[in-house]
Chains A and B, each alone.
Chain A
Amino acid sequence: MKIILSGSLAGTLARLLLIRLDYRQYPGYPHGYISHLALGAIASALGAVAVPALLNKDFTAFTFLALAAQQFREIRNIERETLQNLEETRLEKRGKDYIEGIARTFEARNYLVMITAFLTSVAAVLGGVIGAAVVAVILIFFSLTFMTGETIGDICEVIPGEINFKGSLLRVNDIDFMSVGLPEMREKIKKEALGVMIKPKDDNARATLHDMGQRMAIAHTAAVIMGSKKDVDIPEFTPLVRKNPDTGAVALYIMPIEKDLESLILAVKRTPVLESARVRPLKTQAGRMAAD
């Protein structure tokens, strides 16, 4: 009994600590918290129960884990569907890549919880309650630090950019964005818009910034944190991220409610690097040859 209890407790605690409202801004709803906590508790119970079952040489218990895996895949579908439905009425889209990333994270976190519970139960069998506590702390620490993933600030340099116009063409430094026709709009943009340059630190980062999903994620994060003056009838104020085709650097243009460059830079830096956008050409021979 102690074994199962310590395993489930450790797993549930891990899930609780993993539900934080971070730059993904999700889940932001009380019911979202409840359902994920409940599923986390079930996952950890399953992981914990497997150990005593194995000790009793009851190997069929493992089939339950397969059942759990099936259930977690379902979570991913549910998350994806919810987010996609919400996307339709959003002014600043998250983008499909971001949604997929969030859905996958939710699935993976449940596996993490299950593994935490399983290993804690094993520790409880071998080392008693104290052993279980030590292992649980280590595993939860591991989940929190190593599973967070990279942010844009890790792979890119984010520096202030200057909003300027070449004729009617809106630019941030030397990167063109779009033609803004109305002079009064141009004046307003000149006065109130903010721009930042995002310079990749290496070729891997450049390939990541090339991904449109990643760029949408950056614009989305900036708009959520800083506010955006965009509305359905003012497409001019849509936050945009565009690339310099020669250097691979990208620039962000945004009409924030709060005109605060420092916090915008921080928001961009904290944007998570999407798993699907993460490319590593430098890991290949051809990529390394092309780099020099």
Chain B
Amino acid sequence: MRVDRDPKTAKGSSVTAASSLDNHSGPIVRVVALRKQVVSPEGPLVILDDINFTIDRGESVAVVGASGSGKSTLLSLLAGLDTPSAGRVWLAGADLGELDEDGRALLRAQRVGFVFQSFQLLLGLTALENVMLPLELAGQPEPRRSALDLLERVGLKARARHYPTQLSGGEQQRVAIARAFAGNPDVLFADEPTGNLDQKTGHRIVDLLFDLNREQGTTLILVTHDAELAAYCDRVLELDDGRLQGETRKAEAR
């Protein structure tokens, strides 16, 4: 049982559901009977159905599947960015269904980092300000120094004052990775992180992502249709037409 008094939650929160996070044990993500259904012009459309799995701390998991298999939707539900039609999701010990929108936001601020296919940097902020953002949202001390350290780690310290539009795609994704790790998250969600990059740049981004992941002991949950990228992970969950079809666990380290 891991008992670590995390300074970031000691700051105190108005959301009571989030206060039980301090010393939970067991899986970082637990999904039970998850279902997502939307109303389309042709009637109800089931995107995800009867999804069950758990992910342990420090694991790296790839969710793979064809386009439209529901993998991005699954990611959004795991991260509390959207709400399921049925079933439950526990993230870092908290039942997402019991949290409201702001409660989930607070949980993300404290526990979760994101890397997106299209980077999703805020164009109005400099690279440094983008990385500072989650630190400030989580109320961490000295956000500027930590952010600069992280930019140095991804090799972009010299570009700290540049705006996203002044950076190449690969550089933008490195800023996004710095931002994702800035909050010192327990879980990192990555949605096709190399999808918009050429192969060579993509390789470098993946290396960076996994290196940081190892250094910080983060749980990595990665959505991709790229089998090569998925092979980097400890475990691969395969989605087909909204259902979990199979699970491959790597026997030995990469």
Are A and B part of the same complex?
Answer: no
Residues on A facing B (Cβ under 8 Å):
none
Residues on B facing A (Cβ under 8 Å):
none
